Amino acid sequence: MHPIRLLEKTLARLATGSNYLFSVRDLSAILPGSSQTAFNALIGRAENNGIIRRVCRGLYLNPQTDFPAGMVLYHAAARLRAQEFNYLSLESVLCDSGVISQVPMNWITLMSSGRSNTISCGSFGHIEFTHSKRGPQEVAPQLTYDANCRMWRASVALALKDMKRTRRSFDLVNWEIADELV
């Protein structure tokens, strides 16, 4: 079977609404005997033919699945930094709770044990990782697991502390709402 058809059939079999993101390593496992050059060419052809869609460097989605469009950034963040301790915080949490009135469009903010970095995910938006030296044991009581996002979410109090620690602007914070929630 031609490699691109093998890739297409395998993705159709593996992909579901909850399993739609694939790393380059995942994709290379489908064709283990390919050289790096041949594999890179195959990925380019698959992308051009609409078999896969690039989310960001090293991460692709299967556009034929019924993926949750509003969750792609969250799920991508969870996949990209799966080996690190990450949690949603800062403006993302404060916006979701109504403490900040302006909604950051296609931009999510996370605290991470990994290095600080902003990753462009093309038309999906941006993922901003901000380094934190605090470990899970220090913040665990103020985290809840968000199954929709597939990651931990900070409380409003922790998000405000993270804003202060990272020296972010408090100009958009509605303190009346914040005081009610803290």
pLDDT tens-digit profile of 70-99?
899 999 999 999 999 999 999 999 999 989
Q: 3-class DSSP state for residue 95?
A: helix
Cβ density class 59-75: b for 16+ within 10 Å, e for less: bbbbeebebeeeebbbb
Mean pLDDT for the chain overall: 91
pTM over cut 0.85: yes
CA distance 17 to 24: 19
Q: Average pLDDT for residues 8-13, to the nearest whole number?
A: 90
* % residues pLDDT > 70 (the chain): 99
CA distance 61 to 76: 10
pLDDT tens-digit profile of 38-77?
999 999 999 999 999 999 999 999 998 888 878 999 999 9
Predicted confidence at residue 170, as pLDDT, reads: 87
Per-residue HEC secondary structure of 136-177 comes to HHHHHHHEEEECCCCEEEECHHHHHHHHHHCCCCCCCECHHH
Domains (ranges, CATH) in the chain? 3-67 (1.10.10.10), 70-181 (no CATH)
